[in-house]
Each structure stands twice: as structure tokens, then as C-alpha cells.
Copies of this chain bind each other. A is one copy, B any other.
């Protein structure tokens, strides 16, 4: 797995050093791998540095603590849900969003989210970055597609778009994280297709 989709730089390195994108990517890859293997509590900056092939001094120049490193990894692995394209209908917009979410959950960002969800229960900095990186972009896309659908006259304006956002995120997360799946399965994509008609009915649109 690579991190080719990582953004070009969320923060400039300290003291004007030329940014080493390859080194940053190796550190983010290593952080995710260590989180999956050992969880937040079991992760050490020494193990991340070793796995990334850099010295701990190098790691600490970029991330000044273990918490900063993991928060940085959560930002780096934030769900890339792709652009909010107008597909011309509520059904097509929702279907695209569900499949973008499925791809994200079945991939690296889903693995990162799952590995740090427990720690976020008592780590506010991490909880905040998970909200900003994983929840807010989806809620914004849900709001935008609901507005378009109401504008087209497909549905009445939605009273509680946040609940609709949870009805998109929630079943995808619970189906991916709580059901034991056979290796290689794509539980998110399966749930996306089965969820669509129920979501359309919940919004007052024809399901078929």
C-alpha cells in the first residue's frame, strides 16, 4: 500500500528544511501499520521511525510527540471521498456517495479510523481530527446533494440533514467494522447497493 493520494503538505517542516515528501509518506505508512499492529497505546515513535527507515531524531523534527504523529496520520489519511459531482438525480448522487464511502472504508482511511476509534474516546485532539477528517466532509456532501435534489423538485427540503448523514455513514461503518467478513470481501460496496432503496424511501423519493 502506498500513500500516493496524500496531500502535498499540510504543514511546512521546521527551520526551512526542504520538504522530504518521500520521508513523510514513509512515516505516515509506518504510523498506520504500527497502529494496526499495536493500537495507539502500543505504538512507539521508535518503532515508527524504524519501520520508516529514519532516525527518531528525524521523526521528532517533524512530529514533536506521539500524539502529534497520530493526529498527523489521521489528517494525512483523511477520507478522500472524491469530488461532489452532480450526477443529475438524487439516486445517482447518493449511489456515488455510498460507493465513494465504501471505497474509503475498505481502504487505508478505514483502517486508520478503526485503529484509533478506541483512543479517541478519551483523547479530544484525536476525536476532533477524526470528526474533521472523516465526518464533516461526508456531512457536507450529503447536505449538498440533498439541496440539489430539493432544487430539482425530487424531494421536499430535508429537515434534519445531519441524521441523513448518519444514515449514510452509520450503516456503512457498522457493516464494515462489526460483521466478520471473509478476507478480500468488499462489505462496503455490498451494503451501499442494499442501503440505497431504503435511503431513497426515507427521503420521500421513489425507491425504484
Residues of A whose CB lies within 8 Å of any CB of B are 35-42, 111, 114-122, 124, 127-128, 130-131, 134-135, 160, 162-164, 166-167, 169-175, 177-180, 191, 194-195, 198-199, 201-204
Query: Given A39-B42, A41-B42, list of 16 further CB < 8 A pairs?
Result: A38-B41, A114-B118, A115-B121, A116-B118, A120-B177, A127-B180, A135-B179, A162-B194, A163-B195, A166-B174, A166-B195, A167-B167, A169-B171, A170-B170, A170-B171, A173-B174
Number of copies: 2
Contacts of A38 in B (CB 8 A): 41
Once A41-B38, A173-B173 are accepted as A-B contacts, the answer to whether A167 and B180 lie under 8 Å apart by CB is no
Contacts of A191 in B (CB 8 A): 163, 166
A191 to chain B minimum Cβ distance, whole angstroms, is 7
24 A–B contacts from the bound complex (CB under 8 Å)? A36-B121, A39-B42, A39-B119, A42-B42, A117-B117, A121-B177, A127-B180, A131-B179, A131-B180, A135-B178, A135-B179, A163-B194, A163-B198, A164-B198, A166-B171, A166-B174, A167-B170, A167-B171, A169-B171, A170-B170, A173-B173, A173-B174, A173-B178, A201-B202
* Nearest 9 interchain pairs by C-beta: A170-B170, A41-B42, A170-B171, A166-B171, A202-B202, A170-B174, A39-B39, A39-B41, A127-B180
A140 to chain B minimum Cβ distance, whole angstroms, is 15
CA distance A171 to B160 in the complex (A): 13
A159 to chain B minimum Cβ distance, whole angstroms, is 9
Residue pair B170, A172 in contact (C-beta under 8 Å): yes
Residue pair B131, A121 in contact (C-beta under 8 Å): no
Once A42-B39, A115-B121, A117-B118 are accepted as A-B contacts, the answer to whether A198 and B167 lie under 8 Å apart by CB is yes
Contacts of A120 in B (CB 8 A): 177
Contacts of A40 in B (CB 8 A): 39
